[in-house]
Chains A and B, each alone.
Chain A
Amino acid sequence: MNWESVIGLEIHAQLATNSKIFSGASTRYGGEPNTQACAVDLGLPGVLPVLNREAVSMAVKFGLATASTIASRSVFARKNYFYPDLPKGYQISQYELPIVQGGHLDIQWEEAGSGSESETKSKRVGITRAHLEEDAGKSLHEDFQGMTGVDLNRAGTPLIEIVSEPDMRSAREAVAYMRKIHALVRYLEICDGNMQEGSFRCDANISIRPKGDEKLGTRTELKNLNSFRFVERAIEYEIERQIDVLETGGKVIQETRLYDPDNNETRPMRSKEEANDYRYFPDPDLLPVVVDADFVENIRDTLPELPDAKKSRFESEYGLSPIDAGLLTSGRELAEFYEKTVTASGGQAKLSANWIMVELAGALNKVGMDITESPVDAGMLGGLTRRIADGTLSGKLAKQVFDAMWKGEGHADDIIDAKGLRQVTDTGEIDGLIDEAIANNPAQVAQYRAGKDKLLGFFVGLIMKASKGKANPGKVNERLRTKLSE
């Protein structure tokens, strides 16, 4: 049978506020356990939550960036369950009335086309809602023989949970959506996006149905997807598993499953029957969040250029292909790096794009750094592409200069001067070398003139060698042809 998978994602993004959503304690990551948990975070008797206004602003930012409705009145509720890292015995979250409702996001992804070329696809993914809530603490099961340690530093860190419509049909689309949200929250500077530290986390709801069916199949929820790669692999595995179950006459059970990246498989965590009844009810300690039009408009005024707008601008302003523009705007820092490079290069838009996407990306990849950590900054890279464009450097020389810049030897011009890497384009100088080669190799000259064209390469080689690689290869070719034909 031809199956179609239906995927929706729930993304938790920690908001980059200085203090917690309901207390003044710091949200900094990596502190000694339980040093950033105040009486409110510990859920001591009598303490009360007070909403952090900045967290509300950040949620509104997200809503505006996804064309969502900002609820003028939203309500915090209590989600009740017992767990040692949940100090109050309930999580404060938004349930019936979330602050962000009904938006969307456009995604692009590559898919194998009919030929060998891959095809760029795009679609609009609905955002059902995004709500504010507090993070729980962490239970540490290692290092405490037979016991569990509880670190409440994370308890009360603000989160937005972004719930998508079940609009995605493949793991690839899901990853494209997740990447887009990731880029967006970083553009908006509302989340640092750090997946290792858990600032950006994802759960996936997956079901399958015979292609063409309207009715949704039974879904499972996948947890613990803390990298883009895991999301893709876990969803692919889960789709295959569900197909297997149905094709061998079984039934998919509604349950929560945990992805195990070591064995690349999903395992049941709890079924619907074992699911908690969270007994949601409005939190009487907090007033409804009332957001007026002025507040929203003031935030709208602070919104940066968003990825889609930036991508279009890169296409029109720099003449980049949609793919290149998409890649270069996939992160705010990368886009900024690119624009600075172009400026420093004196407007070399395509050359700069290529150098960033090929040489620089390759070098960064090799050592596992991201663009913000690059030892070659935008000004330096722009200085390099400027010298390629004006003919000072050949491609080969440029790579040498890049390597030297990477090692911290300074700017392109300094390196070119220090190493004497300037390309020789002077006709007189090149002609001198050619004359010398012709004089020293009369036999080959005769053969060439008798019609053995291939010998041109032999002469080019001689001249490049004599110039120590600095002669402009185009110029050498051109002058050789002329001289040999004289």
Chain B
Amino acid sequence: MHHKSLTELSAALQGRKISSEELTRFFLDRIGRLDTTLNSFITVTEELALEQARSADKRIAAGDAGVLTGIPVAHKDIFCTQGVRTTCGSRMLENFSAPYDATAIARIASSGTVMLGKTNMDEFAMGSSNETSYFGPVKNPWDGERVPGGSSGGSAAAVAARLAPIATGTDTGGSIRQPASFCNVTGIKPTYGRVSRYGMIAYASSLDQGGVIARNAEDAALLLGAMAGVDPRDSTSVDLPVPDYMTTLSESLRGVKVGLPREWYGDGLDSGVRAVVEAALTSLAGLGVELVDINLPHSPYCIPCYYVIAMSEASSNLSRYDGVRFGHRCENPRDLLDLYIRSRAEGFGTEVKRRIMTGTFSLSAGYYDAYYLKALKVRRLIAEDFRRAFEKVDILAGPVAPTPAFALGEHMDDPVTMYLQDIYTLPLNLAGLPGMSVPAGFDRGLPVGLQLIANHWEEARLFNMAHRYQQETDWHHFVPSRFAGQSETEQNDPD
């Protein structure tokens, strides 16, 4: 059952081969047995899930069901869920429960999905390894000594280990794509403005975007279709029709131009990762695409530009966690200043504090022009690089991250090395472009993803290319042996 795609599960539900309640119990049981070592969930909403499953079963019985009705879903714990605590991976919100649903969550729920629980993540989405979570690191299902990537590490690990058929995630600088690459799942970060940010706890507002982590491109397309669209409660969501991604999934790739940013294939790219990516490009060429070299000349400035903007916005976004109205409050504050200082000192972890401090610095009088304002200018140049590239090609392809999953603790004392994890992913966030990570092979037993990038609002192209690629390859079927179960059709470890 855990090897089935959403379309297959949906067919089984509609054909009454299985009830949503049975399906939900199946996944809840897997979570109960297998997540103890993985730690991919912060909260499992067993009772609520069963309740939602039973009501989905009623909808199915009444003939009032859509494709997603009765499908269990896991949500990154950054999305507010009414009445269910939303921690954002932080002690600050350990006991916070929102009186509203994030728009993306409400939309998914209205199609009749079942929420299994809330997945683990880097604290306030600040991290590339899921090690900054107050609720402990998530382990990579492929190697328990390694990180699953971050910040949507819980969602990626849960889908990779088949503890959930599909999950939501968010991506500010690579937080969907990098863990998808590390865990051998398919992840999409849509165009900025495609999915409402209302109720999605902000890290860096101009970069944050909700998306999907799935077993394959088709599943991701199904769920994104349900999440996407303009929201009157988010002024930055864009009022453009959401196409039916399913209708273009299988279109031919013949003649599609794929650009290869030369800057992404140079020093700093692990040779094993390079080999996997190049093999994937060869497969794409076999599907008829035309590979073209292109340049993104401002690539060297992406990391500093991104971190100045992200941290500046974060320093302001996280000001609301002051211990006054909600969230962690220190014991017996002496006065107002003491309340602020101790509540925030106790409630936030090291990485969050580091980013608040850095962001506060770059917005300060006397530094603003040199840092924040300059970063905004560089951001425009980076976006311009992409605009020029998309005059020549339809899709860009490259690595997701410089390396496969690294060891737990490996980069924790070296934030700058950790930040370099996002070198190929964050330029898209700066430009607002949609990007995908697609399982493309293994290096020394660890999964490696291929990153596909499209122009604004062209998610359909990404789904199409990823789907065609997945029809020709079977990397996305691989499941770590510990989580593979007894199914006959399963594929085990690649080596």
Contact = CB atoms under 8 A, between A and B. Distances in A.
30 contacts: A43-B325, A44-B98, A44-B99, A44-B320, A45-B86, A45-B326, A46-B80, A46-B197, A46-B202, A47-B199, A48-B197, A48-B198, A49-B235, A50-B233, A78-B316, A80-B316, A80-B363, A88-B319, A89-B319, A89-B322, A90-B319, A148-B336, A150-B325, A279-B315, A281-B312, A281-B313, A285-B202, A285-B236, A286-B235, A287-B236
Interface string A130-146: 00000000000000000
A150 B323 CA distance: 13
Contacts of A89: 316, 318-320, 322
B311 to A, nearest CB: 12
B43 interface: no
A279 B236 contact: no
Contact of A279 (B86, B234, B340, B360): B360
A342 to B, nearest CB: 49
A16 B324 CA distance: 29
Interface stretch (B261-269, B273-281, B364-372, B439-447): B364-372
Nearest to A276: B365
B316 A45 contact: no
> Max chain A CB contacts within 10 Å: which of B88, B93, B316?
B316
A83 to B, nearest CB: 9
A89 B319 CA distance: 5
Interface residues of B, number: 43
A281 B197 CA distance: 20
Contacts of A87: 320, 324-325
B206 interface: yes
Contacts of B79: 46
B393 interface: no
A87 B364 CA distance: 21
A51 interface: yes
Contacts of A78: 316
B319 A50 contact: no
A42 interface: yes
Contacts of B325: 42-44, 87, 150
Contacts of A284: 204-206, 236, 313
A82 interface: yes
A90 B235 contact: no
A351 B201 CA distance: 67
B256 interface: no
Given A44-B326, A50-B232, A279 B320 contact: no
A356 to B, nearest CB: 49
B198 A46 contact: yes
A39 B200 contact: no
B96 interface: yes
A355 B320 CA distance: 57
A63 B98 CA distance: 40
Interface residues of A, number: 29
A42 B315 CA distance: 18
B102 interface: yes
10 nearest A-B residue pairs (beta carbon)? A89-B319, A284-B206, A279-B363, A284-B205, A46-B199, A43-B320, A45-B201, A46-B201, A46-B80, A277-B365
B201 A281 contact: no
A425 to B, nearest CB: 72
Interface string B339-376: 01000000000000000000010011100100010000
A50 B100 CA distance: 17
Nearest to B93: A45
A78 B363 CA distance: 11
Contacts of B322: 82, 84, 89
A39 B93 CA distance: 16
Contacts of A46: 79-80, 86, 98, 102, 197-202
Contacts of A279: 315-316, 360, 363-365, 368
Q: Which of A42, A50, A279 has the most B CB atoms < 10 Å from its CB?
A: A279
Contacts of B197: 46, 48
Given A39-B100, A50-B235, A287-B235, A84 B363 contact: no
Interface in A56-91: 78, 80, 82, 84, 87-90
B319 A45 contact: no
B336 A80 contact: no
A128 B205 CA distance: 31
A80 B368 CA distance: 14
A80 B362 CA distance: 13
Contacts of A80: 315-316, 319, 363
Contacts of B199: 46-47
Max count, chain A CB within 10 A of own CB: residue among B86, B200, B233 = B233
B168 to A, nearest CB: 13
Nearest to B327: A45
Interface in A76-108: 78, 80, 82, 84, 87-90
Interface string B50-81: 00000000000000000000000000000110
Interface string A23-47: 0000000000000000100111111
A277 to B, nearest CB: 5
A287 B237 CA distance: 10
Contacts of B360: 279
Interface in B295-349: 312-313, 315-316, 318-320, 322, 324-326, 336, 340
Interface string A269-298: 000000001011100111100000000000
B97 to A, nearest CB: 11
B98 A45 contact: yes
Contact of B80 (A45, A280, A286): A45
B42 to A, nearest CB: 15
Nearest to B96: A45
Interface string B85-113: 01010000100101110100000000000
Contacts of A44: 98-100, 320, 325-326
